[in-house]
Amino acid sequence: MVQAAPQAAFGVLILGTIYTALPAVLIAFVITAPLGCAIGISMLKLFEPGPWQGAANGAITAAAIVVVLVLLTEGALTEVPDPGTIIFVLALIGIGAGSGWLAQRKCINWPEADA
């Protein structure tokens, strides 16, 4: 039976933080947030303010990131992906839509705050 010391678990947590959480935060601040802001600003210029814009902004931002990742890793879609991949991508876009809706309704309370 192998037993690990608490120091080993702490070391794994520290390395996990360095190699996963820090890049995720960097990607969020350098790529996702500016892209979402640009999409949100363009949506405000094109449409009247509405309660649907947070969800649409999140979904469009997530879809744009997924499309760029597919183009960077695969080059192009030459065939229809398997159902698991399609469900995974739709789930990512759904998470983006949900987080955009949550940010709009709960964090910034917009457009009701302007009324």
For 70-115, the pLDDT digits (tens) are 888 877 777 888 899 899 999 999 999 999 999 888 887 777 755 5
Most distant pair of Cα atoms in the chain: their distance: 65
pLDDT of 105: 86
Query: Is pTM, for the whole model, over 0.85?
Result: no
Q: Are 49 and 114 in contact (CB under 8 A)?
A: yes
